[in-house]
């Protein structure tokens, strides 16, 4: 850096050249130089959570008589600016950094301290507002980073993911109601099975999403516990006994969520089981979305040479060489996000095992993958609902046509004429190309009125035994 482009800052290790315009300081600059790994940083939502903590901590420390009122005020004002996203470009440390996230905690402390100095009319790099002594007062990276993980994840789930899932559930449930009178062939092992109603099929999808919502909500209970107050190793050294309760109350007020102090600070800092649990619920959602998206693209396959029982909305041309081709691109987007979320869960699981003694040392990448899983899922669910599910149309004629052709219709005859006799009818139907109804009528296995009743596809979609009815 040319002389006019940097300023000299000092930390416990000595002098460091820092870009002159930067709000961050010496420790952040060291981290930038130490970790030129991926070019990926913590997501903005996580940086916002850090600023919430700094804002609340300054207020609590002021109330406890530990922090000068003027300094507390400018820290809060600077932290608010970070919360509002005004300084996102100042968070420059790579995600692949110290496993405690200390570099990014100090990045936040330095940005807030230097901006606070400006608000006091002072020069950046001064010590009137100190990143450690003032902004980080009563805190450690070891309790701040876990706290920020929980705040950012819970906000993302409650504000993005759960609303998106609620809309998808409503859309699928409406399709289940709209298509309850349409009978189609069921399939097991990808082979023809007995009839079902298209509404029943969509009802299954709706229930999958409903259960995913329940699982995710249940897993969120662990995120409501915050590690703040444990400082370095869980003992709360250098922290006023009332600091965690006061700060967490303010965090709850700022976010609208009912956060509480961790019941055991050693668990909260050494383990990340709550994050692993949430990730598991997101993985389960990904598996459910995979099943639904795959079914929809297969059911809509064609339009003339596939199953074609439903039609998906046309969203964009599907081929650069085949005119008129339209593909199930929204389903494919869901499948790719689901694969990514499952990969995120694998990473988070491995990271969760890195709780060595009193600290987990793989929190940054765990945070990134957790927030990706939440945000990507929310975004793709929203797009999938709006651009695919709500516009699905049933092909009733195709559904009825395929039922009558199915060999599985013979299943309804088995309780009346016996399994072996029914199997012979199925085999003849297959070899001759005739329907089960045609073969059964030709062999006069039952009177026409009884045969019509037993081979009624609608009746097959409900519980019951023909000869008992």
pLDDT in tens, 409-466: 999 999 999 999 999 999 999 999 999 999 999 999 999 999 999 999 999 999 988 6
**Topology at the third CATH level for domain 143-237+258-396:** Fumarase C; Chain A, domain 2 (1.20.200)
User: Parallel, antiparallel, or unpaired: how do β-strands 310-311 and 393-394 relate?
Assistant: antiparallel
**What are the residue ranges spanned by the domains of the chain?**
23-137, 143-237+258-396, 406-468
The string of pLDDT tens digits covering residues 67-81 is 999 999 999 999 999
d(CA 142, CA 238): 13
Q: CB–CB of 341/323 below 8 Å?
A: no
The string of pLDDT tens digits covering residues 265-313 is 999 999 999 999 999 999 999 999 999 999 999 999 998 899 999 999 9
Q: CB–CB of 107/41 below 8 Å?
A: no
d(CA 361, CA 394): 52
Q: Which stretches does DSSP call E strand in 228-299?
A: 260-261
pLDDT at 11: 87
pLDDT at 465: 83
d(CA 451, CA 373): 53
pLDDT at 2: 54
Sign of CA dihedral 174, 175, 181, 187: negative
Pick out the chain residues at pLDDT < 70.
1-4, 466-469
The answer, as to whether pTM is greater than 0.85, is yes
Sign of CA dihedral 406, 412, 416, 421: positive
pLDDT at 165: 98
Q: Specify the CATH architecture of the domain 406-468.
A: Orthogonal Bundle (1.10)
Contact partners, residue 198, CB within 8 Å, separation at least 6: 179, 180, 182, 183, 184, 309, 310, 394, 399
Q: 3-class DSSP state for residue 121?
A: coil
Alpha carbon of 172 to those of 198, 201, 245, 311: distances in Å? 12, 10, 43, 15
pLDDT at 467: 66
Set 189, 212, 340, 377: catalytic member: 189
Active site residue 319: yes
Q: CB–CB of 171/206 below 8 Å?
A: no
Q: How does DSSP classify residue 412?
A: G
What CATH number should be reported for the domain whose range is 23-137? 1.10.275.10
Active site residue 429: no
Set 59, 319, 333, 340: catalytic member: 319
């Amino acid at each position: 850096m040319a002389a006019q482009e940097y300023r000299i800052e000092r930390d416990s290790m000595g002098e460091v050249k820092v870009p002159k315009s930067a709000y961050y300081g010496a420790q952040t600059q060291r981290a930038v130089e130490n970790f030129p790994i991926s070019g990926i940083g913590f997501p903005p939502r996580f940086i916002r959570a850090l600023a919430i903590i700094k804002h609340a901590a300054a207020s609590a420390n002021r109330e406890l008589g530990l922090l000068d009122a003027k300094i507390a005020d400018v820290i809060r004002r600077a932290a608010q600016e970070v919360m509002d996203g005004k300084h996102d470009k100042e968070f420059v440390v790579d995600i692949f950094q110290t496993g405690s996230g200390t570099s990014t905690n100090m990045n936040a402390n330095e940005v807030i301290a230097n901006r606070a100095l400006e608000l006091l009319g002072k020069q950046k790099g001064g010590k009137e507002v100190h990143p450690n002594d003032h902004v980080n007062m009563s805190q450690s990276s070891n309790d701040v980073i876990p706290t920020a993980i929980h705040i950012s994840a819970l906000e993302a789930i409650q504000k993005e993911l759960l609303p998106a899932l609620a809309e998808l559930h409503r859309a699928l449930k409406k399709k289940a109601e709209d298509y309850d009178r349409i009978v189609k062939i069921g399939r097991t092992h990808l082979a023809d099975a007995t009839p079902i109603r298209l509404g029943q099929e969509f009802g299954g999808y709706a229930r999958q999403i409903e259960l995913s919502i329940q699982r995710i909500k249940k897993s969120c209970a662990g995120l409501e516990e915050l590690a703040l107050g444990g400082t370095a190793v869980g003992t709360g050294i250098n922290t006023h006994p009332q600091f965690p309760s006061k700060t967490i109350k303010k965090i709850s007020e700022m976010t609208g969520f009912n956060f509480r102090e961790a019941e055991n600070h050693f668990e909260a800092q050494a383990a990340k089981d709550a994050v692993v649990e949430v990730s598991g619920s997101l993985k389960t959602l990904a598996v459910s979305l995979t099943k639904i998206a795959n079914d929809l693209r297969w059911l809509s396959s064609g339009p003339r040479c596939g199953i074609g029982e439903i039609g998906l909305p046309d969203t964009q041309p599907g081929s650069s060489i085949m005119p008129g081709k339209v593909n199930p691109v929204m389903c494919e987007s869901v499948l790719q996000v689901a694969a990514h979320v499952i990969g995120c869960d694998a990473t988070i699981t491995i990271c969760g095992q890195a709780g060595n003694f009193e600290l987990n040392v793989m929190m940054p990448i765990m945070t990134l993958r957790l927030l990706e899983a939440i945000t990507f899922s929310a975004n793709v669910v929203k797009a999938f609902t709006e651009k695919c599910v709500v516009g699905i149309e049933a092909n009733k004629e195709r559904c009825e046509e395929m039922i009558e052709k199915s060999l599985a219709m013979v299943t309804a005859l088995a309780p009346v004429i016996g399994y072996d006799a029914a199997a012979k009818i199925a085999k003849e139907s297959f070899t001759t190309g005739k329907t089960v109804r045609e073969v059964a009528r030709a062999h006069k296995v039952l009177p026409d009125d009884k045969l019509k009743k037993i081979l009624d596809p609608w009746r097959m979609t409900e519980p019951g035994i023909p000869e008992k009815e």
